[in-house]
């Protein structure tokens, strides 16, 4: 046992003259993260690497749980759950508690990533990471297998017609501005996690799992007369899980926490654009300014940052209640105060929400949001607004 432990420690230890990027390629996210976390006095680039690996570690843990339970990538409504992963032929049945575990672990890793970023502060750094060195140990066997590279899972280079000159073996030089970008993304995922947990989805998921089993037990040995269940059964079950969970009265504390994360996301994103605009180099850029070029070949039209910040300003105005969400029944002078909905979160009732009654406690007269900023952004990026929204956060 001692020999095995020693062998594992030696395998995880950095090799002389090995870069941090090469270490990740050799040992993986978890082992490199553990080594950096154990350092007594990490350098600034090591702190950023630790934050980045905790972020990626949260994604990796979610992918591993999906692989263990055979959770497919057709959960297109939710981040991370939509990412493609290799199939596990021996997956165990998905349990309701698995969803809670997945979301809770993800949030914990985002919190840990922010802790490393807080320790980093405003210290300058530059860290070169070769994208091909990043991989997720999805099947948890400790080795890199087909379909586990970050490009295949996250589709980083899948920009379609937005990829200008194809880049061979891109290397990203992460710097101070990118720490703000990473912080913003951790807040986005933590905000999503807080919203999901606020509605206590586990009982709803368990209810649908049990009812689905009872439905399939009725089939007996006779195959269904049509392909409706094959085409839509999983989607209907998933929709039922979501709607049943949303019918719960959400936890007020978690809703407030989500609101705080979304506000912090906007603040950190704004800080990123301030910092990136000051950059004068043009080397290995992740998200470039108008004078730079993306290292992954993504073509960003001049003015992308300015237009995106206008979209964020609208989102902030909604979160603060400065502007209201229009409702088709409320006329041109009134709308829904989103801030009030976070302060006193209601259960989701689609019937009364569509009819208008359900939003009345949050309705008031005032300036309504328009979609001009989003339309301007969408025109600028020639219809690829969602691609850039995911990338820019």
Write the pLDDT tens digit of every residue in 300-313.
889 999 999 999 99
**Cβ count near 329 (within 10 Å):** 13
pLDDT of 79 over the 70 cut: no
Share above pLDDT 70 across residues of the chain, in percent, rounded to a whole number: 91
The answer for residues whose C-beta is within 8 angstroms of residue 245's C-beta and 6 or more apart is 199, 200, 201, 204, 205
Task: Supply the pLDDT for residue 227.
Answer: 86
Task: Supply the pLDDT for residue 222.
Answer: 85
Task: Supply the pLDDT for residue 309.
Answer: 95
Task: Supply the pLDDT for residue 16.
Answer: 60
pLDDT of 26 over the 70 cut: yes
For residue 128, the cross-strand partners are 173
**Residue 278: what are its φ and ψ, rounded to 5°?**
-80, -15
**Length of the chain counted residue by residue:** 393
What would the pLDDT profile of 150-208 be if each residue is shown by its tens digit?
888 876 554 444 555 566 789 999 999 999 999 999 999 999 999 999 999 999 999 99
Q: In which band, very low, low, confident or very high, does the pLDDT at 324 lie, cut at 50, 70 and 90?
A: very high
Quote the CA–CA distance of 1 and 15 in Å, as a whole number. 23
pLDDT of 131 over the 60 cut: yes
pLDDT of 14 over the 70 cut: no
Task: Supply the pLDDT for residue 70.
Answer: 84
Of residues 77 and 62, the one with the higher pLDDT is: 62
pLDDT of 328 over the 80 cut: yes
Of residues 105 and 82, the one with the higher pLDDT is: 105
59 burial (CB, 10 Å; 0-12 / 13-18 / 19+) is buried
Query: Rounded to the nearest 10 degrees, what angle do helices 372-380 and 385-392 cross at?
Result: 100
Rg (CA), the chain: 23
Beta strand extents in the chain (DSSP E only): 126-130, 171-175, 334-336, 363-365
The answer for residues whose C-beta is within 8 angstroms of residue 81's C-beta and 6 or more apart is 62, 66, 71, 73, 75
Q: For the chain, what are the domain ranges? A: 208-247
Q: In which band, very low, low, confident or very high, does the pLDDT at 297 lie, cut at 50, 70 and 90?
A: confident
Q: What is the mean predicted confidence (pLDDT) over 362-376?
A: 95
Q: What is the mean predicted confidence (pLDDT) over 46-56?
A: 98
Contact 7, 13 (CB under 8 A): no
Q: What is the largest CA-CA distance in the chain?
A: 74
Distance between start and end Cα atoms, the chain: 46
pLDDT of 382 over the 60 cut: yes
Q: What is the mean predicted confidence (pLDDT) over 212-231?
A: 88
**Residue 110: what are its φ and ψ, rounded to 5°?**
-65, -40
Q: In which band, very low, low, confident or very high, does the pLDDT at 13 lie, cut at 50, 70 and 90?
A: low
The answer for residues whose C-beta is within 8 angstroms of residue 101's C-beta and 6 or more apart is 65
pLDDT of 339 over the 60 cut: yes
Task: Supply the pLDDT for residue 9.
Answer: 47
Quote the CA–CA distance of 49 and 82 in Å, as a whole number. 25
pLDDT of 1 over the 60 cut: no
Task: Supply the pLDDT for residue 5.
Answer: 43
Task: Supply the pLDDT for residue 276.
Answer: 95
Contact 334, 365 (CB under 8 A): yes
Task: Supply the pLDDT for residue 15.
Answer: 62
Task: Supply the pLDDT for residue 165.
Answer: 58
């Amino acid at each position: 046992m001692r020999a095995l432990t020693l062998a594992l420690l030696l395998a995880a230890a950095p090799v002389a003259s090995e870069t941090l990027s090469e270490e990740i390629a050799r040992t993986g996210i978890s082992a490199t993260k553990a080594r950096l976390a154990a350092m007594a006095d990490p350098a600034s680039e090591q702190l950023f690497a630790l934050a980045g690996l905790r972020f990626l570690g949260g994604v990796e843990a979610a992918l591993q749980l999906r692989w263990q339970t055979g959770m497919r990538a057709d959960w297109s409504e939710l981040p991370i759950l939509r990412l493609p992963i290799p199939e596990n032929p021996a997956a165990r049945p998905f349990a309701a508690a698995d969803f809670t575990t997945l979301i809770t672990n993800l949030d914990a890793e985002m919190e840990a990533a922010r802790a490393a970023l807080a320790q980093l502060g405003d210290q300058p750094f530059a860290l070169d990471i070769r994208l091909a060195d990043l991989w997720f140990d999805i099947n948890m066997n400790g080795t890199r297998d087909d379909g586990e590279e970050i490009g295949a899972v996250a589709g980083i280079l899948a920009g379609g017609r937005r990829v200008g000159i194809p880049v061979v073996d891109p290397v990203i030089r992460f710097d101070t501005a990118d720490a703000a970008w990473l912080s913003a993304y951790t807040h986005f995922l933590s905000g999503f996690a807080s919203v999901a947990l606020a509605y206590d989805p586990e009982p709803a998921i368990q209810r649908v799992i049990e009812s689905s089993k009872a439905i399939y037990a009725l089939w007996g040995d006779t195959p269904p007369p049509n392909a409706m269940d094959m085409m839509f059964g999983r989607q209907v079950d998933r929709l039922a899980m979501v709607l049943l969970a949303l019918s719960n009265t959400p936890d007020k504390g978690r809703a407030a926490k989500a609101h705080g994360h979304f506000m912090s996301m906007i603040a950190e994103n704004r800080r990123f654009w301030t910092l990136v605009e000051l950059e004068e180099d043009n080397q290995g850029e992740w998200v470039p300014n108008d004078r730079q070029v993306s290292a992954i070949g993504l073509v960003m039209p001049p003015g992308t940052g300015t237009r995106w910040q206008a979209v964020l300003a609208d989102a902030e105005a909604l979160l603060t209640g400065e502007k209201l969400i229009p409702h088709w029944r409320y006329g041109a002078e009134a709308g829904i105060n989103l801030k009030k909905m976070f302060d006193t979160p209601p259960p989701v009732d689609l019937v009364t929400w569509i009819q208008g009654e359900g939003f009345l406690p949050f309705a008031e007269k005032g300036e309504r949001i328009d979609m001009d900023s989003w339309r301007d952004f969408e025109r600028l990026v020639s219809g690829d607004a969602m691609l850039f929204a995911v990338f820019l956060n």
